[in-house]
A and B are shown apart, each in its own frame.
Chain A
Amino acid sequence: MTDRFHHPDDRETRSAARVRALEALLIEKGIITSRTVDTVLDVFETKMGPFNGARIVAHAWVDPAFKTRLIEDAPAAIAEMTDLPEGMAGAEGEHMRAVANGEGVHNLVICTLCSCYPWPVLGLPPYWYKDPTFRSRAAREPRAVLKEFGLTVPDSTEVKVWDSSAQIRWFVVPERPAGTEGMSESELAALVTPESMMGVAVAASP
Chain B
Amino acid sequence: MKLQHYLGGLEGLGPITVEKRVFVEEWETRIFGIHTAMMALSPQLPFHTTPSAFHTVWTWAHLRTGAEGLNPFDYFKYRYYEKWLGGICGYLIDNGYITGEELDARTAEYLADPDKPLPQGGAPEIDRRVERYLATGDSPKRDVAVRPDFQEGDTVTVRNVPTVDHTRLPGFLRNHSGVVETVYPGAYGYLTDTGTDGIGAPMPVYCVRFEAEELWPGNTEPNVTLYADLYAAYVGKPAA
Known contacts A13-B111, A15-B82, A91-B133; decide if A34 and B119 are in contact (CB<8 Å): yes
Instruction: Using CB atoms, name the residue of chain A closest to B35.
Output: A40
**Is B143 an interface residue when CB atoms closer than 8 A count as contact?**
no
Which of A12, A21, A90, A112 has a CB less than 8 Å from the CB of B170?
A112
Inter-chain contact B224/A12, CB cutoff 8 Å = no
Interface of B is mostly: mixed
Asked whether B26 lies within 8 Å of A114 as measured between CB atoms, the reply is no
Known: A18-B107, A90-B136. A126 touches B227 (CB 8 A): no
Q: Are A16 and B80 in contact (CB under 8 A)?
A: no
Residue among B123, B141, B170 facing the most chain A CB atoms (10 A cut-off): B170
Tell me, rounded to whole Å, the shortest Cβ–Cβ distance linking B212 to chain A.
Answer: 7
Q: Is the CB of A140 within 8 A of B216?
A: yes
Residue in A91, A113, A149, A195 whose beta carbon sits within 8 Å of that of B137 in the complex: A91
The 8 Å CB contact of A5, one of B77, B135, B227, is B77
| Whole-angstrom distance between the Cβ of B206 and the nearest chain A Cβ | 9
**Residues of B104-162 contacting chain A, CB below 8 A:** 106-111, 114, 118-124, 126-127, 130-131, 133-141
Closest residue of A by beta carbon distance from B67: A114
Chain B residue at minimum C-beta to C-beta distance from A85: B135
Number of interface residues of B (CB under 8 A): 104
| Minimum Cβ distance to chain B for residue A1 (Å) | 10
A185 close to B (CB within 8 Å): no
The answer to whether B223 and A94 touch across the interface, beta carbons within 8 angstroms, is no
Give the complex CA separation of A160 and B41 in angstroms: 38
Contact between chains at A12 and B27 (CB < 8 Å): yes
Instruction: Across the interface, name the chain A residue whose C-beta is closest to B82.
Output: A15
- Report the separation of the CA atoms of residues A141 and B172 in the bound assembly, to the nearest whole angstrom: 14
Name B231's closest neighbour in chain A (CB-CB).
Answer: A166
Give the complex CA separation of A112 and B104 in angstroms. 34
Instruction: Write out, one digit per residue, whether chain B residues 195-235 have a CB within 8 A of any chain A CB (1) or not (0).
Output: 00000000001010000100110011111111111110000
Question: Is A183 interfacial (CB-CB < 8 Å)?
Answer: no
For the complex, give the distance between the alpha carbons of A47 and B14 in Å.
36
Residues of A within 8 A of B (CB): 4-5, 7, 12-41, 43, 47-48, 86-87, 89-95, 112-115, 123-128, 130-137, 139-145, 148-149, 155-168, 194-195
Interface residues of B (CB under 8 A from A): 4-5, 7-11, 13-22, 24-27, 29-34, 36-37, 39, 41, 51-54, 64, 67, 73, 75-77, 80, 82, 85, 88-89, 92, 97-98, 102-103, 106-111, 114, 118-124, 126-127, 130-131, 133-141, 167-170, 172, 184, 188, 190, 205, 207, 212, 215-216, 219-231
In the complex, 6 of the A-B residue pairs with CB atoms within 8 angstroms, ordered by the A residue number, are: A30-B123, A43-B131, A113-B7, A126-B20, A148-B15, A159-B221
In the A-B complex, list the 5 residue pairs whose CB atoms are closest, starting with the nearest: A33-B122, A37-B33, A21-B106, A87-B135, A127-B19
Given A31-B97, A112-B170, A158-B225: 13 more A-B contacts, CB < 8 Å: A32-B52, A32-B54, A34-B118, A43-B131, A87-B135, A112-B172, A132-B75, A142-B224, A145-B16, A160-B225, A162-B227, A165-B170, A167-B139
